[in-house]
Amino acid sequence: MPRASGKAEAETVVLEGAGLKPDPAEVFRYLGYPKDAPVEPRVAQRVEQALEKLLPEIRPRAMYRIYPVLRSSAHRLELPGAVFTGRIGEFLGEAQRAAIFLATAGTEIVAAAEAAMQGRDFLGGLVCHAIGAALAEAMVARTIEHLRGQLGAGEALTLPYSPGYCGIPLEQQRTLFGLLDASLVGVQLLPTMIMRPLKTISGLIGIGPEDRVRAYGNPCDRCPLVDCQMRR
């Protein structure tokens, strides 16, 4: 549906994650432990040691830029200079603006994981990968928190949606990267659509009237993909 132009487009915002500590429960979840399952002491100890050693060295970052939504339908979302296709039109259909974001754990944690693997310290490598994934998630949470501070009266945020999930084709990464200067946070999109550093999350978050965003609810509650790892 066509939209009024709404608020002016914001400038790019870059967020630093220095001092950010990932939730250990999330690290254990990425290591394959179900919620509330007991964690082997040797694994818990390795996570604690890795966090202590690596947190002062790593540099997680995030960026976002808000665009007005020009038009949307169930399978289309049009922003100035970019069109997303797939179910994103349904998920962000109530949004009048959309924040395009990147959140990365940075290169250091990926390098630590690779060094551990090359040294045949497989548990150490897995722990670093899990910390990296949890850090990228923590930077998404920081992005959401920052975006909440940008909301006008009566506005709310949708959940974040990423290309490759929720019926948004992975190829839409190209569209997303066309809307941001990813070099500001040291992120690259490879021809395979994989991002470098590996522990990076890209996506869109809608901003719309609180009552309509709430009424739409959580699409995961209606989604048939029961095994989806991104289920919220």
Binding site for ligand SF4 (CB under 6 A): 165-166, 219-220, 223, 225, 228, 230-231
CB 118 to ligand SF4: min, Å: 33
CB 204 within 8 A of CB 32: no
Q: Outline where the chain has alpha helix (H).
A: 24-30, 41-54, 88-91, 107-118, 122-148, 172-177, 210-216
83 or 225: whose CB is closer to ligand SF4?
A: 225
Backbone CA torsion sign across 147, 5, 68, 218: positive
Beta pairing partners, 64: 13, 101
Tokens coding 124: 């150490």
Instruction: Indicate the residue among 115 and 228 with the shorter CB distance to ligand SF4.
Output: 228
Tell the burial category of 12 from Cβ atoms under 10 Å away from its Cβ (0-12, 13-18, 19+): middle
Beta carbon of residue 224, minimum distance to ligand SF4 (angstroms, whole number)? 8
Residue 90 or 112 with smaller CB distance to ligand SF4? 90
- CA atoms within a 13 Å half-sphere pointing along the CA-CB vector of 227: 0
The least CB distance from residue 164 to ligand SF4, in Å, is: 10
Task: Give Cβ neighbours of residue 10 (< 8 Å, ≥ 6 apart).
Answer: 65, 66, 150
Residue 231 Cβ vs ligand SF4, minimum distance, rounded to whole Å = 4
Q: Cβ closer to ligand SF4: 194 or 225?
A: 225
> For the CA atoms of 107, 113, 116, 120, what is the dihedral angle to 10 degrees?
-140
Contact 85, 74 (CB under 8 A): no
Q: How far is the CB of 165 from ligand SF4 (least distance, A)?
A: 5
Q: Which is nearer to ligand SF4, 183 or 229 (CB)?
A: 229
Shortest distance (Å) from residue 219 CB to ligand SF4: 4
Residue with Cβ nearer ligand SF4 (28 or 161): 161
